[in-house]
Chain A
Amino acid sequence: MDLVTREGEFLVLLGPSGCGKTTLLRMIAGLEQPSSGEILIGGQVVNDLPPRARKIAMVFQSYALYPHMTVFKNIAFPLKAQGVAKEEIPKKVAWATGLFGIGHLLERKPRQLSGGERQRVALARAVVREPAVFLLDEPLSNLDAQLRTSARDELQQFQRRIGITTIYVTHDQIEAMGLGDRIAVMQGGRVRQLGTPAEVYGEPADTFVAGFLGSPPMNIVEAAADRLVGFRPEHFLPREVHDGSGALVALGFRVTRVEYLGADRLLYGVLEDKFPGAKVIARLPSTVTLPYEGGRRYEFAVPEKELRFFDRTSGLRTAPRPV
């Protein structure tokens, strides 16, 4: 694998569990040794350096706060370990806790904190020694859904403000899309694609990326013996809904089931005519009010420019072809 971050960038490692993203992060941190290859931080090979010499800071999924220390001591710990002068420590701790608004919690122990507060303490502890790289391992996964949204927002603002290169591991594509400047989609220990959220979503490099991103994922059907064609559920709409600009590919769609999700409706069914028997999903925004029911056939279409082609054996993206 070959991966280069840009200065001050927010890079997300995204992939299913077991794809090696956490292992990669731990190798960057120096907690695990790569069997081969080099890791560079700030242009310097750090393979043989212990974690403490790498100028990195890491936030763990469990936050890994020291349970027997107060918040103040937790945040001061990396400073003391680095040999920062005693009178400097309270100032730096005050600065870091100020960033996250946890100045009133200094005397508490971790078990007296809520999930969100623990996460902020972990972030403050990581940021307090001003690292060159900031490593985050699923820091939001222990928060409840409501808190996660606001924490995501805060995290991004904070990263923009301090401008430290950040590598963020997650299996949650919404987090990845929302936070990342660029996303590295990983599977089986490899980077399948590296690009901006729009690139990995709109121009997937292979069928894995196409199938992993998006909820529901891209519909992928067999176009020919050697070729697959994919299209996003939100582009697969009733013919009359398309605005008529650009060429359309018409598809007969037999709906088997309708799922009402509030903001959208999901129509499950199979294609007829062109790719007979292929199971696909259509995602209709709530602005489309046409009635649909299971068991009937409807005329749907996909804009031709929204079709993505893949090689059938390698799964890799290929040039567009007529269908």
Chain B
Amino acid sequence: MAALLDSPRWLGVLMIAPAVLYIVLVVGLPFVLAILYAFSGVTMGSRTIEFVGFKNFISVLETTKFQTSLRNTFVFALIAQVLVMVLGTVLAMALLKDFRGKWLVRLLILLPWVAPISLGTIGWLWILDSTYSVINWTLEALGLIGADGWFMWLGVPYLAMGSVITIHVWRILPLATVILLAGLTSIPHDIHDAAQVDGASFWRHLFQITLPLIRPIMLVAGLFGLVFAFTDMIVIFVLTRGGPYDTTQVLASLAFFTGIQAGDLAEGAAIALFLFPLLLAVAVAFLRVARRAEVT
């Protein structure tokens, strides 16, 4: 044993083993299973696997439910991620400056990230409730809406999509902000001073100096956020369960409802895997650009 630990070769293998094991068992195996299922006719009660080729993919493609979900996925992920990037950059730049009560603002911004997501979302469920909504109550108290004008935040198609996007942004924003803040902090202060002395206006400074310099890190934050938005369903599951009339249904939630709740494992797997090639391509593209970005 001692000899084994003294050999750098075996020690390295030993050290990396838990991580490899973890990834293989918790990520790799389910992923392989999902691929197997997607090309099979397996359901909750099946004892055997028979392969049916692309039949599952073809049949889900034909349903309007799937087409709506596909469109919703893109709307949800792209709008949310654009908002996250813009707001995250603004917040990170604000947090870079020194001001009174900065710690409090930082704490408040980080809170959504530390709080368990289902708990936080349940909080939002009440905030957006059709009867108890504190937002509607406030609007009415301010005289902006009448008693009969209460918004059904989660019950009307566009409002529901707006709500789930907003809550998703609220939840991802802290991570993006922290990543972008790290990027901003890494820019030497002299560069900003030089830009100021050189006479750059706020916008020129932002778009020609600051943003290009944090571009690699923005790409990383963007990639993570985008993949996350494409594959996550907690917010939607807690708030709307895909409703009303599937207007907030995304592929991740549809896969869950089809595969787990309705028991059609094969179709569920096919839906879940549908965007995998796209996301893989997105990830590879992002990482390549990030590596090529010339910043020292």
Contact of A64 among B193, B204, B212, B296 (CB under 8 A): B193
Residues of A within 8 A of B193 (CB): 26, 29, 31, 58, 60, 64
A64 touches B208 (CB 8 A): no
| CB of B3 closer than 8 Å to a CB of A | no
Give the Cβ gap from B254 to chain A, nearest Cβ, in Å.
42
B196 touches A50 (CB 8 A): yes
A52 nearest CB neighbor, chain B only: B199
A64 touches B295 (CB 8 A): no
Give the Cβ gap from A112 to chain B, nearest Cβ, in Å.
10
Contact of A78 among B190, B199, B209 (CB under 8 A): B199
A81 touches B199 (CB 8 A): yes
B188 touches A82 (CB 8 A): no
Given contacts A31-B193, A60-B190, A60-B193, contact A78 B296 (CB under 8 A): no
A52 touches B197 (CB 8 A): yes
Given contacts A67-B213, A68-B212, A81-B204, contact A51 B191 (CB under 8 A): no
Q: How far is the CA of A65 from the CA of B195 in the complex (A)?
A: 9
A62 touches B190 (CB 8 A): yes
Residues of A within 8 A of B213 (CB): 67-68
B295 touches A68 (CB 8 A): yes
B294 touches A51 (CB 8 A): no
Q: How far is the CA of A51 from the CA of B208 in the complex (A)?
A: 18
B196 touches A51 (CB 8 A): yes
Q: How far is the CA of A64 from the CA of B193 in the complex (A)?
A: 8
Given contacts A67-B296, A68-B294, contact A56 B197 (CB under 8 A): yes
Q: At the interface, is chain B mostly helix, strand, loop or mixed?
A: helix
Residues of B within 8 A of A58 (CB): 193-194, 197
Q: How far is the CA of A154 from the CA of B46 in the complex (A)?
A: 85
| CB of B62 closer than 8 Å to a CB of A | no
A31 touches B198 (CB 8 A): no
Give the Cβ gap from A154 to chain B, nearest Cβ, in Å.
21
| CB of A66 closer than 8 Å to a CB of B | yes
B294 touches A109 (CB 8 A): yes
Residues of B within 8 A of A77 (CB): 195, 198, 200, 208
- B-contacting residues, A45-66, CB 8 Å: 50-52, 56-58, 60-66
Residues of B within 8 A of A50 (CB): 196
| CB of B48 closer than 8 Å to a CB of A | no
Residues of A within 8 A of B200 (CB): 52, 77, 81
A64 touches B194 (CB 8 A): yes
| CB of B7 closer than 8 Å to a CB of A | no
17 contacts between A and B (CB under 8 A): A30-B197, A31-B197, A51-B199, A52-B198, A60-B193, A61-B190, A62-B190, A64-B188, A64-B190, A66-B191, A66-B195, A68-B295, A78-B198, A81-B198, A81-B200, A82-B199, A109-B294
